[in-house]
Amino acid sequence: MEIRNLSKSYQVAGRRLDVLKHLNMKTDDRGITVVLGRSGCGKTTLLRLIARLEPADEGEILWEGSGKLGVIFQEPRLMPWLTAGDNILFGAGRKEQEKQEKLERLLKLTGLEGFEDAYPAQLSGGMQQRAALARALASDPDYLLMDEPFAALDYFTRRQMQKELLEVWRKEQKGVLFVTHSIEEALALGTKILILDGGVCRKEYDLTGYPYPRDLLDGDMIAIRKDIIEHIEEREETTL
Amino acid sequence: MKRFGKTAVGICLLLAVWQLAVMSGIWSTYVLPPPAKVASSLLAMMRDGTLWKHILISMRRVLIGFGIAFGLALLCGMAARGLPRLEEYYGSFLEFMRHVPPISLIALLILWFGIGETSKIIIIVLASFFPMYLNIRQGFVSADRKLLEVGTVFGLSRWQRFCRIVVPCAIPDILVGMRIGLGYSWRAIIGAEMIAAASGLGYLILDAQQMSRSDRVIAGILTIGVVGVLCDWLFRILIQRWQRYGD
C-alpha cells in the first residue's frame, strides 16, 4: 500500500486543524507496519482514511490486489445481540458450508473454541478483541488495519494478544498496518516502524532482520527505542 | 415465587381493608359493595359470557388501533432515520398533536365519523402513536455510530446497514415504545367506550353505573387492570428475551 500526498483537516471551534499534511508513506505488504506516534498525531485519522470511513481532502491511497480490508478498532465493536460465532461471520459471505468451515478454523486460530455461542457481554476484553480479529479475518481481507486494538487491555493480556497476533500473522500471511502510541508494542510487533508526527511521516525503521519473539532488552532494541524517544522529544521541543 | 407470595400478601391486605371498610358501615353497600359480591358478579359475568364478549370487543379495537399506530410510528421513525430532512416538514405538526389529549378530539371525531368503530380506533391510534413514535425514533436515530462503521468496513449497503445494525440496535426502544403504547391504548379505549359505545369494557362500566350496580363497575375496573397487567407482562417477557445477551 502506498500513500501519496495525503492531507486531512478538521474545523474545530471555528479553527482549521490540519491533522495530516501531504503525508507520503509505503507499508510492508507482507509484514507488520507499525505507525507510531503520540496521542493526537493523526494515527487514527490516517487509519480511518485508509479504511474509507472518511474522505481525504487531498492525496491518494494505492493498493496492490483488491484492496479488501479487515479493520480492528480500539474497541472490539462486536454486535451485542449476536453470539461470538455470528459476530465472527458478520461479513463472511453467504455460503453456509463455507461459513461453517471458516468459523471452525477461525475459532481455533483465535483460541475461542467453545465460546461461539457466548454473547459479547459474557466474554472478557481479550476474548472480545480476539473475536473482532477473527471477524476481520473472516472476510478474507488482503490487509488488516489495527487501531490500537490492545490499548484497553491490561499489561499481561496485551502481551498475550501481541503473541497471538504474531501467530495469526505467521499463519495467515497478510499485511498488517498497526497503529499504536506504545514504543514497546511497536518494537515487539513491527517489521517496519513509521514515526508519525505533525501530520507527516518523520522517520522509518526497518526491523525485518529481527526475529520474533523479540527481546526488548537486547542492545539493538534499546538503541532503536532511545532513538525513537529522542526523535519524538526533539520534535516536541522544536514545536514548543 | 417469593415475589408472587409478596404480591398475594398485598392483595389479601387490600381485600381485608376493603372488607373492614364495608363492615364499618361508613358507606352503604350500594356505594361500596363487599369483595364477595364483586367476586360473585365477576363470576356470573364470566359464566354467562358477558365479560368475555366485552373484553374481546375492547381487545379487538385496541389491537386494530394499536397495530395502525405501530405501523405509522415505524414509518415515521424510519423516515426520521433515513430522510431527516423530511422530518422537518412533519415534526412540528407531530409535536403539536402530541400535546393534544385524544379524548379532547372525541366530539369532532363523532361528528366526522359517527359513533361507530372508526372514531374509537382513531382515538386509540392518537393515544398510542406518540409514545411509540418517540421511542422508535429514538431507537433508530441513536443507533451506535461505531457499529455502523463496522458495517461500512464490511461493505454493507445503506439498506443492509439499516436491517442488520440499525434495527437490532433499535429493538429494545421499539419494544419499550410498544409496551407504553399498549398501556395508552387501553386507557384511551376505555375513555372512548364510556363516551360513545354500545359494547366494550368501558361501556360495561358505564352501563353498570347507570343501572346502579357498583359491584359490576368494580368488576369491570378489575378486569381492565388484569388485562392491562397481562399485556404488559407479555411485553416485559419479549423485552427480556431480546435483552438476554446483556446478561
How far apart are the C-alpha atoms of B23 and A170, rounded to whole Å? 86
Q: What is the mean pLDDT of each run of 10 residues along chain B (247 residues)?
A: 82 92 86 91 93 93 94 93 87 88 85 86 92 94 94 92 94 91 89 82 91 91 91 85 67
Which of A53, A70, A79 lies at the smallest CB-CB distance from B168?
Answer: A79
pLDDT tens sequence across A81-106? 999 999 999 988 778 888 888 899 89
CA angle B14, B19, B25 (to 5 degrees): 135
Distance set, CA A54 to CA A44, A58, B150, B209 (Å):
11, 12, 13, 67
Order across the sheet with A15-26: list the strands: A15-26, A2-12, A58-62
Q: Is A55 on the interface with B (CB under 8 A)?
A: no
How far apart are the C-alpha atoms of A207 and A230, rounded to whole Å? 18
Tell the residue number behind the cell numbers 496485551, with chain if given.
Answer: A158
Superfamily grouping for domain B34-246 = MetI-like (1.10.3720.10)
Q: Give pLDDT, residue B221.
A: 92
How far apart are the C-alpha atoms of B184 and B180, rounded to whole Å? 6
How far apart are the C-alpha atoms of B100 and A80, rounded to whole Å? 38
Q: From the CA of B94, how many Å to the nearest CA of chain A? A: 32
Question: Do A71 and B171 count as a contact with CB atoms less than 8 A apart?
Answer: no
Neighbours of B17 (CB within 10 A): 10
Q: Which helix (H) or strand (E) holds A18?
A: strand A15-26
pLDDT (mean) for A30-39: 91
Q: Give pLDDT, residue A238.
A: 58
How far apart are the C-alpha atoms of A94 and A213, rounded to whole Å? 38
pLDDT tens sequence across A171-213? 888 899 999 999 999 999 999 999 998 889 989 999 999 999 8
Q: Give pLDDT, residue A172.
A: 82
Distance set, CA B65 to CA A1, B119, B228, B240 (Å):
58, 10, 16, 25
Could you tell me which residues of chain B have a Cβ less than 8 Å from any Cβ in chain A?
146-147, 149-150, 152-156, 164-165, 168, 171, 242, 244-247
- B39 in Cβ contact with B98 (< 8 Å): no
Which of A79, A119, A122 lies at the smallest CB-CB distance from B147?
Answer: A79
Which of A52, A73, A81 lies at the smallest CB-CB distance from B168?
Answer: A81
User: Which stretches of A63-216 are assigned E, i.e. beta strand?
Assistant: 69-72, 143-147, 175-180, 192-197, 200-206
- A131 in Cβ contact with A161 (< 8 Å): no
Interface with A, mutate which of B145, B245, B247 (most A CBs under 10 A) = B245
pLDDT (mean) for A151-165: 86
Phi then psi for residue A61, to 5 deg, are -120, 120
Which of B154, B246, B247 lies at the smallest CB-CB distance from A90?
Answer: B154
* 3-class secondary structure, A7: strand
Measured between beta carbons, which residues in chain A are less than 8 angstroms from residue B146?
A: 73, 75, 77
Average predicted confidence (pLDDT) for chain A: 89
Could you tell me the three cell numbers for B2? 417469593
Question: Do B146 and A73 count as a contact with CB atoms less than 8 A apart?
Answer: yes
